[in-house]
Amino acid sequence: MLRRRVYGGDHDDPDPGPRPGHSYGELVGGPLDGLLLDVTGWSARQLAEEARLPTEIGRYGPGGRAHYRRRPGDGEHWDWSGDSR
């Protein structure tokens, strides 16, 4: 079985997958497609807002951000809504 990788994890981490006791959402589409976003401890307000995640592999390269929003009625998936600087 393929072990999923968590967004923001160190590329050299021998175990970049999810940790027990944490809550995750799957990023869908865009440059971070398939990664897991650790939302452990996020408030209802934070979960309702758009996540603007720093990434070097988006449209704007280093310094850019990929935007993801939690899918309505589905707390397990976060859909890509675009990139920004």
Q: What is the pTM of this model?
A: 0.90
pLDDT in tens, 52-63: 999 999 999 999
pLDDT in tens, 10-56: 778 888 889 999 999 999 999 999 999 999 999 999 999 999 999 99
**CA distances in angstroms from 68 to 8, 9, 16, 32, 76, listed in the order given:** 15, 18, 21, 9, 12
Q: How many CB atoms lie within 10 A of CB 75?
A: 12
